[in-house]
Amino acid sequence: MEKKLYVGNLPYSTTDASLKDLFAAAGNVAAASIIIDKFSKRSKGFGFVEMATEEEAAKAKEMFNGSEVEGRKMIVDEARPMKENNFRGE
User: pLDDT per residue over 28-70, tens digit each?
Assistant: 999 999 999 999 999 999 999 999 999 999 999 999 999 999 9
Please give the C-alpha separations between residue 79 and each of 40, 71, 90, in angstroms, as whole numbers. Answer: 25, 23, 27
% of residues, the chain, pLDDT over 70: 93
Closest among 88, 63, 59, 87 to 74, alpha carbons compared: 63
DSSP, res 89 = -
Q: What is the CATH number of domain 3-78?
A: 3.30.70.330
Decide: helix, strand or coil at residue 87: coil
- How many residues comprise the chain? 90
pTM of the model: 0.88
